[in-house]
Structure 1
Amino acid sequence: MKKGILILGSALVLSSCVSKSKYTALQDQYNETSDELSKTRMELAACLDNKKNASKEIDYLKKTNYQLLKNIGNMSTLSKKEAENLERSLEQIKEKDLTIQSLQDAINKRDSVTFALVTSLKGATVGIDDEDISINVEKGVVYVSISDKLLFTSGSSKLSKEALAVLGKVAQVLKSQPELEFMVEGHTDNKAVRQGASFEDNWELSAERAASVVRVLEKDFNIKPERMTVAGKGEYAPVASNDSAEGRAQNRRTRIVILPKLDEFYSLIEEGMEKAK
């Protein structure tokens, strides 16, 4: 009992030896340390969480890196196996590119000739009504279509005096391009030839009209006959309906088809290929 009283007395003595201000300072220091400890624990938890996320990211990067290395290896193996085939394919592509370029050059040159021809024909036929003569280009072929009223009397294959003037203007341009060949087509409407006419049907009438034009081009304007072809189309290539007088008038026509020089065209392609080698 005495011993317990002595210890309590000692504790009271010791506590009485610490000043109030020092005790307060120690209490503040304790609180500050406690706050720091709590903050440190929070930072530690955050670090552990970051470490966990970083570990996942590292695992992902390792897998990605492995796959990339695997792909590179596959590509390397493929390159070795297919090197010759790839080289051949590239050569074939190069040859195709050269062919395309040569073809484009040939087309450009052909189009230049065609443009010059059309320009000359339109210049030569200035003053003639557009309804009576038309000049157009389709797929590299030049067409000169002349109304029958400028060339023939109704139901006849005999050329009028006015026809010579029109054909003379066209012939002037054709003579300036001696390398070009052309076909003269005769066309009619669908009205049957009248009874007693010198033609059996529209086939014969259209063919004879085309032949009359060719004869004049040869004899009067000195165009070589080997450059020309005669064709009778009859009523079977109309450009308008035969149900009206206007449509039938459009169908009665003579058409000069200026043919492209295909052998010259292909020669241009071959020439381009030779230069590309």
Structure 2
Amino acid sequence: MIKKLLLLALTLTLMTSCVSKKIFTDLETKYGNLKKENRELTDEVETLSKDKTKLSNDLDQLQSAYETAVAERDKLQSDYAAAKSNLEILKASYKALEENSSASIAANSKKNRELLAQLEAKEQALAAENERLNTLKKELEKGSKRVAELENVIATKDANMRALKDAISKALTNFEGKGLTVEQRDGKVYISMENKLLFQSGSWSVGSEGKKAVQQLGNVLADNPDIAVLIEGHTDNDPYKGNAQLSGNWDLSAKRATAIVNILRENKTIDPKNLTAAGRGEFAPIASNDTNTGKAKNRRIEVILTPKLDEISKLLKDI
């Protein structure tokens, strides 16, 4: 009997080896594209964070320049007041000396003209400084407004993601303690479902209980069309020994991720463009594969929900 089984397995392997290699190559290419897209999204988020930091630094520089301009204006006003006081004194002296000598009058007149020229120059400098100060103030107000808008958009997206997490937790409350967790970190929502809730060992067919959980998740996603949904399949590091049509754990994880996508697509309200399936194989464990408990945690589907950043990108371009 064993010999017959071995012969049958060998025959199936020979019949399907070419097909499996092609599938593996296609999936590997798709995975590379998804990995690149994930890196680009991560780089975009990092760039947005750097832009926000740069904008805040520019705002601080404008604030510093504004304060310096105010100090310079106050000094000019003080100099102007002192010069005006000296002028009044000279006028009084001029009046007192008018009766003495024409030479003294001429000397005082010259000083008076010099002081008037200095006073006019300081008035012009003060006017120019006030104009520069008004320009800096407008730039400061504009920058502050853009920063406030950007912070408001980011805060709104964070609040929306918290509300989405709460909605998903509420929708999946019946599956708590059955290998399902929901958490929010880094501005994203992560739903992790262990394979014991979804699949039989070596299979990518979703069981009835798991399908119900995915459908309830889909009901929440249907109400959030501005969310990108990445479904990742993960396995432990045990070599795959199941269906000969599969090339290994990576192939199995990709098929399981695709199975979840297909269930979500049954909900016609969900835009398929928001869905992405990826197989990660055993290469992204969350626990040690040295124990059965750790392996069970690593055999999972992760659904990663990410807000779209179009609005933030537009604000940054307008700044």
TM-score grouping bracket, smaller chain normalisation: 0.5 to 0.7
TM-score (norm 2): 0.56
Quote the Cα distance in structure 1 between the aligned partners of 2:307 and 2:175: 26
TM-score (norm 1): 0.64
Conservation of the 8 A alpha-carbon contact between 1:110 and 1:265 = no
Conservation of the 8 A alpha-carbon contact between 2:261 and 2:275 = yes
Report the AA paired with residue 142 of structure 2: E
Deviation at residue 127 of structure 1 after TM alignment: 2.0
RMSD: 3.1
Unaligned runs of 5+ in 1: 1-68
Task: Give the greater-gyration-radius structure (CA).
Answer: 1
Deviation at residue 178 of structure 1 after TM alignment: 2.7
Alignment partner, residue 175 of structure 1: 222
The structure-2 alpha-carbon separation of the partners of 1:140 and 1:127, relative to structure 1 and needing over 3 Å to count, comes to same
Alignment partner, residue 66 of structure 1: none
Deviation at residue 132 of structure 1 after TM alignment: 1.0
Deviation at residue 227 of structure 1 after TM alignment: 2.1
Equivalent of 2:264 in 193, 202, 217: 217
Alignment partner, residue 198 of structure 2: 151
Conservation of the 8 A alpha-carbon contact between 1:183 and 1:228 = yes
The structure-2 alpha-carbon separation of the partners of 1:99 and 1:224, relative to structure 1 and needing over 3 Å to count, comes to closer
Quote the Cα distance in structure 1 between the aligned partners of 2:177 and 2:130: 63
Quote the Cα distance in structure 1 between the aligned partners of 2:159 and 2:202: 40
Unaligned runs of 5+ in 2: 1-74, 81-121
If each structure's helix is expressed as a fraction of its own residues, which one has the higher value?
A: 2
- The Cα offsets for residues 108-161 of structure 1, whole Å up to 9 and x where unpaired, read as 221222122111111111121246111111222111111111111112211112
Deviation at residue 196 of structure 1 after TM alignment: 5.9
Are 2:148 and 1:108 equivalent residues in the alignment?
no
Quote the Cα distance in structure 1 between the aligned partners of 2:223 and 2:128: 61
Alignment partner, residue 201 of structure 1: 248
Alignment partner, residue 132 of structure 1: 179
Deviation at residue 92 of structure 1 after TM alignment: 3.1
Conservation of the 8 A alpha-carbon contact between 2:197 and 2:210 = yes
Q: Could you tell me the percent identity over the aligned residues?
A: 31
Are 2:309 and 1:238 equivalent residues in the alignment?
no
- The Cα offsets for residues 73-108 of structure 1, whole Å up to 9 and x where unpaired, read as 59x798677555544443333222112211121122
Quote the Cα distance in structure 1 between the aligned partners of 2:243 and 2:258: 21
Report the AA paired with residue 234 of structure 1: G
User: Where do residues 1-277 of structure 1 align in structure 2 (5 Å cutoff)?
Assistant: 73=79, 85-130=132-177, 132-194=179-241, 197-219=244-266, 221-222=267-268, 223-266=270-313, 269=315
Report the AA paired with residue 281 of structure 2: G
- The Cα offsets for residues 155-177 of structure 1, whole Å up to 9 and x where unpaired, read as 22111122211111111111122
Report the AA paired with residue 252 of structure 1: R
Report the AA paired with residue 297 of structure 2: Q
Quote the Cα distance in structure 2 between the aligned partners of 1:254 and 1:161: 16
Alignment partner, residue 32 of structure 1: none
Deviation at residue 265 of structure 1 after TM alignment: 4.1
The residue matched to 2:173 in structure 1 has which SS? Answer: coil
The residue matched to 1:116 in structure 2 has which SS? Answer: helix
The residue matched to 2:148 in structure 1 has which SS? Answer: helix
